[in-house]
């Protein structure tokens, strides 16, 4: 679906899977959908030129219009989401995916609140990052500017439709959204709500566009829109990542999966360690900042693991352990499954946890750097030197000392929301917020200087 201010209409569908209709728009959006990915991206490019010079007040008014429209049209949005939830249930989606997919009144209000938080952030566009005067009198400034057109490819979570649109709008970018079939009804309504809302205050409707998400060839087309799309950000699993690596000619910033760890050091407060491990695994197991592996120093394993594993099991967690963890787990030993090499490398998105014992912080760091995805890692320790060794040695976007990995989130970090968490080192790392959606240009001002 293209980014017009679309009037509500009767859903239409195509079939992505045998027997599975996928709604990708409304009758009023059919003409836009029919023009294809390239024309959708061209319209977004044209919108981005206007967005780049849009004043802050207009952008903020557009964001408020989105937030208000989410509240005003909540019944319509929740009805569409209910259809996706029913289809997901019929298709046997996992509990973690169903949790990602679900919207309710509280979550919808939270999304609207996040939009208003983004509106209240300082406008990054036009910000002078640094500046200096040359000996010849030229003033050189490095000034923040929008990227242009950002495409976001994502799975399951309909909230991403609004979060990403709001972040791109605030940072002066047009956005082309490509959601998955499992959230097709929700995404279609949410994109239409956002596009119509921004158009109501004079922002180009094509600033927010949605393509259907029902075709792999469509993904290939989107990933090869050189000159129209400036950046693609995928939020999804390894299959999506592999598909983009195979085809993309547009720059890609991976909002990657999270194989996250909690390491309990020999000096840890064990009560804190249990609380942190439980929170990191159990609080919301289907998200990318949930812990997948618990590592424990050998000197505290016998005192820590029987308690920690009992509480984790009571919370419904399936435990997979190495031999040393089994030996230190007391009465639970015979009931625990063995952890394999594949387990250490797996992001479960479920109530499953691998548990291992190590002999030092350095060994924990080596394990994490071998198996981790570079997302979020935590140490529980009472030692400053151990904390420094961990934070200095672990190669990850977010590293925690005595806190849960669950805090990795743009909203929690004061960024309003996030497009995802980048595990790359160029051009952004960690939560991708408004500043991470900008580049810069050099503005040089003189008084007639010429180069000799």
Q: Quickly state the pLDDT bin for 24 (edges 50, 70, 90).
A: very low
N-to-C CA span, the chain: 54
Task: Give residues with Cβ within 8 angstroms of 280, minimum separation 6.
Answer: 260, 262, 290, 291, 378, 404, 405, 406
Per cent of the chain over pLDDT 70 is: 92
Q: What's residue 12's pLDDT?
A: 26
Burial annotation 112-133 (CB, 10 A radius, 16+ → b, else e): bbbbbbbbebebbbeeeeeeee
Mean pLDDT, all residues of the chain: 90
Residue at token pair 């158009």: 199
Residue 68 has pLDDT above 60, yes or no: yes
The whole-number average pLDDT for the span 379-408 is: 98
Q: Which two tokens stand for residue 197?
A: 């809302």
Q: What's residue 9's pLDDT?
A: 30
Residue 58 has pLDDT above 60, yes or no: yes
* Tens-place pLDDT, residues 120-158: 999 999 999 999 999 999 999 999 999 999 999 998 789
* Residue 238 or 399, more confident: 399
Residue 15 has pLDDT above 80, yes or no: no
Spatial distance between the Cα atoms of 188 and 203, rounded to a whole number of angstroms: 20
Q: Among 74-88, 239-253, 317-331, 366-380, name the one with the lowest average pLDDT.
A: 239-253
CB 247 within 8 A of CB 224: yes
The whole-number average pLDDT for the span 363-370 is: 98
The CATH class given to the 260-409 domain equals: alpha beta
Residue 94 has pLDDT above 70, yes or no: yes
Pick 11-255+430-441's CATH classification: 2.30.110.10, 3.30.499.10, 3.90.245.10, 3.40.605.10.
3.40.605.10
* Tens-place pLDDT, residues 267-322: 999 999 999 999 999 999 988 999 999 999 999 999 999 999 999 999 999 999 99
Residue 1 has pLDDT above 80, yes or no: no
Domain ranges, ordered by start, for the chain: 11-255+430-441, 260-409
* Residue 119 or 180, more confident: 119
């Amino acid at each position: 679906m293209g980014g017009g201010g679309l009037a509500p209409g009767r859903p239409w569908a195509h079939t992505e899977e045998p027997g599975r209709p996928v709604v990708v728009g409304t009758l009023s959006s059919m003409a836009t959908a029919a023009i294809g990915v390239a024309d959708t991206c061209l319209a977004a490019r044209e919108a981005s030129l206007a967005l780049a010079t849009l004043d802050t007040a207009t952008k903020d008014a557009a964001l408020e219009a989105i937030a208000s429209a989410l509240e005003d049209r909540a019944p319509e949005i929740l009805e569409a989401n209910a259809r996706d939830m029913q289809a997901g249930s019929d298709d046997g989606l996992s509990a973690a995916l169903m949790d990602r997919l679900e919207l309710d009144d509280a979550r919808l209000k939270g999304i609207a609140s996040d939009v208003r938080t983004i509106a209240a952030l300082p406008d990054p566009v036009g910000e002078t990052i640094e500046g200096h005067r040359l000996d010849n009198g030229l003033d050189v400034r490095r000034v923040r500017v929008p990227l242009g057109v950002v495409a976001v490819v994502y799975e399951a979570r309909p909230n991403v439709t609004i979060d990403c649109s709001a972040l791109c709008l605030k940072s002066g970018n047009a956005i082309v959204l490509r959601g998955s079939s499992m959230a097709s009804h929700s995404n279609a309504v949410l994109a239409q709500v956002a596009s119509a809302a921004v158009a109501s205050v004079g922002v180009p409707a094509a600033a927010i566009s949605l393509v259907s998400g029902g075709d792999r060839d469509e993904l290939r087309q989107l990933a090869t829109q050189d000159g129209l799309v400036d950046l693609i950000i995928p939020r999804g699993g390894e299959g999506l990542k592999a598909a983009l690596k195979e085809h993309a000619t547009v720059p890609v910033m991976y909002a990657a999966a999270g194989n996250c760890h909690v390491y309990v050091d020999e000096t840890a407060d064990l009560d804190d360690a249990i609380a942190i491990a439980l929170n990191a695994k159990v609080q919301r197991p289907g998200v990318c900042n949930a812990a997948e592996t618990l590592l424990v120093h050998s000197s505290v394993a016998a005192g820590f693991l029987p308690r920690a594993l009992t509480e984790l099991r009571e919370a419904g967690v399936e435990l997979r352990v190495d031999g040393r963890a089994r030996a230190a787990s007391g009465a639970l030993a015979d009931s625990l499954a063995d952890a394999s090499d594949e387990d250490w490398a797996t992001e479960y998105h479920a109530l499953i946890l691998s548990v291992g014992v190590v002999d030092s912080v350095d060994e924990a760091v080596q394990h994490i750097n071998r198996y981790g995805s570079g997302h979020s890692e935590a140490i529980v320790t009472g030692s400053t030197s151990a904390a420094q060794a961990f934070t200095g040695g672990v190669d990850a976007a977010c590293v925690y000392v005595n806190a849960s990995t669950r805090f990795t989130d743009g909203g929690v970090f004061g960024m309003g929301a996030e497009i995802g968490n980048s595990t790359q080192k160029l051009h952004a790392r960690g939560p991708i917020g408004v500043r991470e959606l900008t580049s810069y240009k050099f503005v040089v001002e003189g008084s007639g200087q010429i180069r000799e």
